[in-house]
Amino acid sequence: MKRKFLIIALSISLTSCFEDADDNAIDPINIKDFVWKGLNAIYLYKDQIPNLADNRFASEQEYTSFLNGYTSPETLFESLMYQRQTVDRFSLIHNNYIALEQQLTGTTVTDGLRYYAFAPPNNPSNRVLVIRQVLKGSNADNLGLQRGQFITQIDGTTITASNVNALLEGNSHTLHFADYNDSGTPQFDDDTFIPNGITVTVNKAAFTQNPVQQTEIFDVDGEKVGYMLYNAFNPDFEVHLNNAFAQFQSNNIQHLVIDLRYNGGGSINTARLLGSMVTGQFNGQVFSKLVYNSDLQELNTDYVFLDNFGGNTINSLNLNKVYVLTTSGSASASELIINSLSAYIDVVQVGDVTTGKTQASILIYDSPDFSANNRNPSHTYVMLPLIANSVNVNGQPVPSTGLVPDISITESVVNLGHFGNPDEPLLAAALADIRGEGRLSASGTTSIFQVKTETNVDRFEKVMYLDKHNFQ
Q: Looking at residue 440, what is its pLDDT?
A: 60
Q: Is the domain covering 212-358+397-450 a CATH 3.90.1530.10 domain?
A: no
- 459 pLDDT tier (thresholds 50, 70, 90): very low
Return the pLDDT at 255: 98
For the stretch 351-386, pLDDT in tens is 999 999 999 999 999 999 999 999 999 999 999 999
The vertex-304 CA angle with 303 and 308, nearest 5°, equals: 115
For the cut 60, the answer to whether the pLDDT of residue 284 exceeds it is: yes
pTM of the model: 0.89
Contacts of 186 (CB under 8 A, 6+ apart): none
| Residue from 300, 385, 321 nearest 93 by CA | 385
- pLDDT tens-digit series, residues 62-94: 999 999 999 999 999 999 999 999 999 999 999
Distance between CA atoms of residues 192 and 126, nearest Å: 12
Q: Which residues fall within 8 angstroms of residue 158, CB to CB, at 6 or more apart?
A: 126, 152
Report the pLDDT value the prediction gives residue 103, as an integer from 0 to 100. Answer: 78
Q: Tell me which residue of 392, 230, 239 sits closest to 323, measured CA to CA.
A: 230
CA-based max dimension of the chain: 75
Class of residue 318 by CB neighbours under 10 A (exposed 0-12, middle 13-18, buried 19+): exposed
Contact 272, 305 (CB under 8 A): yes
Residue count (the chain): 472
Task: Look over the chain and give the mean of its residue pLDDT values, rounded to a whole number.
Answer: 88
Reference 301, options 469, 463, 461, 462; nearest CA is 469
CA quadruple 32, 34, 37, 43: dihedral positive or negative?
Answer: negative
The fold adopted by the segment(s) 110-208 is Pdz3 Domain (2.30.42)
- What is the pLDDT, as a whole number, of residue 122? 84
HSE, CB side, 13 Å, CA atoms: give it for residue 452.
Answer: 26
| Cross-strand pairs, 469 | none
Sign for the pseudo-dihedral over CA of 198, 204, 205, 210 = positive
Q: CATH 2.30.42.10 occupies which residues in the chain?
A: 110-208
CA distances from 290 to 82, 211, 378 (A): 19, 24, 33
Residue 450 pLDDT > 60: no
Average pLDDT over residues 283-297: 97
DSSP string, 20-77: -TTGGGS-HHHHHHHHHHHHHHH-TTGGG-GGG-TTS-SSHHHHHHHHHTSSSHHHHH
99-111 burial, b if ≥16 CB within 10 A, otherwise e? Answer: bbbbbbbbbbebb
401 Cβ neighbours under 8 A, 6+ residues apart: 353, 356
The radius of gyration computed from the CA coordinates of the chain, to the nearest angstrom, equals: 23
pLDDT at 99: 85
The H-or-E segment that residue 78 falls in is helix 73-79
- Average pLDDT, stretch 6-25? 33
Report the SS3 class of residue 230.
strand
Q: What are phi and psi of 406, to 5 degrees?
A: -75, -35
d(CA 66, CA 73): 12
Collapse the DSSP code of 292 into the 3-class scheme (helix H, G, I; strand E, B; otherwise coil) and give the result: strand
Name the phi and psi angles at 452, rounded to 5: -150, 165
H helix or E strand, kind and range, residue 200:
strand 192-203
Q: What is the residue type of 409?
A: I
**201 band by pLDDT with thresholds 50, 70 and 90:** very high
Q: Determine the pLDDT at residue 64.
A: 96
Closest of 108, 1, 6, 115 to residue 368, by C-alpha: 6
Tell me if 314 sits within 8 A of 276, measured CB to CB: yes
Residue 2 has pLDDT above 80, yes or no: no
pLDDT of residue 444: 39
**Which pLDDT does position 453 carry in this prediction?**
52
Q: Residue 192's CB: how many other CB atoms inside 10 A?
A: 14
Core vs surface per residue 37-51: b (16+ CB within 10 A) or e: bbbbbbbbbbeebee
Pairing mode of beta strands 463-465, 265-267: parallel
Average pLDDT rounded to a whole number, residues 249-253: 98
